[in-house]
Amino acid sequence: MPILKLSERRLTPEAVEIVVDGELDLAVASRLQQAIDESGSGSTLIHLARRTFIDSTGIAVVLRARRLHGQEGGGRMVVHSPSVQVLRVLKITGLTENGLVFPDRDEALATIAALEAH
């Protein structure tokens, strides 16, 4: 079984970051889904700097979580700091052009704060 390590930290009272360490594929995507589901209300940031691989199942988990966050109105769900390999996949799938992917945590938090201020 592929090794996936998830760690969670509260960045602000309204934002949680989930750091994904390991390949994000079919074998482990349900663990990320569970971590996102348990992160509570508010915004969730998914940190992907340590990823060298993400498959369609991992992308589907991220997109589902983003849709649910939007429907519940309790915050945003974004991805930040993707590795070069993961960023390439996210670009090919068109996900870097819709406010889902940010180059780093600071930019993601600033954008979330600006959107919540409106």
Q: In this model, does residue 2 exceed pLDDT 80?
A: no
- Which band of pLDDT confidence, cut at 50, 70 and 90, is reported for residue 21? confident
Q: In this model, does residue 34 exceed pLDDT 70?
A: yes
Q: In what order do the strands lie in the sheet with 5-12?
A: 5-12, 15-21, 43-47, 77-80, 101-102
102: helix, strand or coil: strand
Q: What angle do CA 93, 70, 24 make, to 5 degrees?
A: 45
Q: What are phi and psi of 107, to 5 degrees?
A: -65, -40
- Examine residue 118 and state whether it is found in any structural domain, yes or no: no
Closest alpha carbon to 36 in 68, 82, 80, 11: 68
Residue 82 maps to which CATH number? 3.30.750.24
- Examine residue 52 and state whether it is found in any structural domain, yes or no: yes
- Examine residue 74 and state whether it is found in any structural domain, yes or no: yes
- Which band of pLDDT confidence, cut at 50, 70 and 90, is reported for residue 108? very high
Q: In this model, does residue 110 exceed pLDDT 90?
A: yes
Structural domain including 49 reads: 5-113
User: Which pTM value belongs to this model?
Assistant: 0.89
- Examine residue 42 and state whether it is found in any structural domain, yes or no: yes
Number of domains in the chain: 1
